[in-house]
């Protein structure tokens, strides 16, 4: 019996999968994933943004801040960690650092002193 067969899924139950953005990868084998949902307000019928943070297990420390990942429900691994990183859907883009001009390093922006 393979792990993805229908019989195994019935035994373990349906597991929820959610996609979100990694906001922190500073912990060892753990990432914080922020999931943003837009829901309609019941009273005012306005769309409201809801943000939820999940701590997810990342066994190989592959996910970095800014990555778009898919997480799946799993057994409790710690007090606050109940999700596991299933796969990385999109890696974050590197933003090149902008270097300051050579003469601007020692300059002050305030009024000149005499």
The CATH code of the domain that includes 50 is 2.40.50.140
pLDDT (0 to 100) of residue 11: 75
Query: Residue 100: inside a domain, yes or no?
Result: no
13 φψ region: left (φ > 0), alpha (ψ -120 to 50), beta (else): left
pLDDT (0 to 100) of residue 1: 46
What domain count does the chain have? 1
- What is the extent of the structural domain holding 33? 11-92
Query: Residue 111: inside a domain, yes or no?
Result: no
Query: Residue 2: inside a domain, yes or no?
Result: no
Query: Can you give the C-alpha Rg of the chain in angstroms?
Result: 22
Q: Which phi and psi angles does 2 have, rounded to 5°?
A: -80, 155
Q: What is the pTM of this model?
A: 0.71
pLDDT (0 to 100) of residue 85: 97
pLDDT (0 to 100) of residue 30: 97
Helix (H) or strand (E) holding 81: strand 81-90
Per-residue pLDDT of the chain (114 residues; tens, 9 = 90+): 445 555 555 677 889 999 999 999 999 999 999 999 999 999 999 999 999 999 999 999 999 999 999 999 999 999 999 999 999 999 988 767 677 676 656 656 666 665
Residues in contact with 38: Cβ distance below 8 Å, sequence separation at least 6, in sequence order: 47, 48, 49, 50
Query: Residue 61: inside a domain, yes or no?
Result: yes
Query: Residue 28: inside a domain, yes or no?
Result: yes
Query: Residue 6: inside a domain, yes or no?
Result: no
pLDDT (0 to 100) of residue 114: 58
């Amino acid at each position: 019996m393979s792990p993805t067969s229908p019989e195994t899924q019935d035994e373990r139950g349906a597991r929820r999968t959610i996609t979100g953005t990694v906001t922190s990868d500073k912990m060892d084998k753990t990432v914080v994933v922020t999931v943003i949902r837009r829901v309609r307000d019941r009273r005012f019928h306005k769309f409201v943004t809801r943000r939820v943070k999940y701590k997810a297990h990342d066994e190989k420390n592959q996910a970095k801040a800014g990555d778009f990942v898919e997480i799946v429900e799993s057994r409790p691994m710690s007090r606050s960690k109940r999700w596991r990183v299933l796969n990385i859907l999109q890696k974050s883009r590197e933003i090149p650092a902008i270097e300051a001009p050579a003469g601007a390093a020692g300059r002050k922006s305030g009024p000149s002193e005499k």
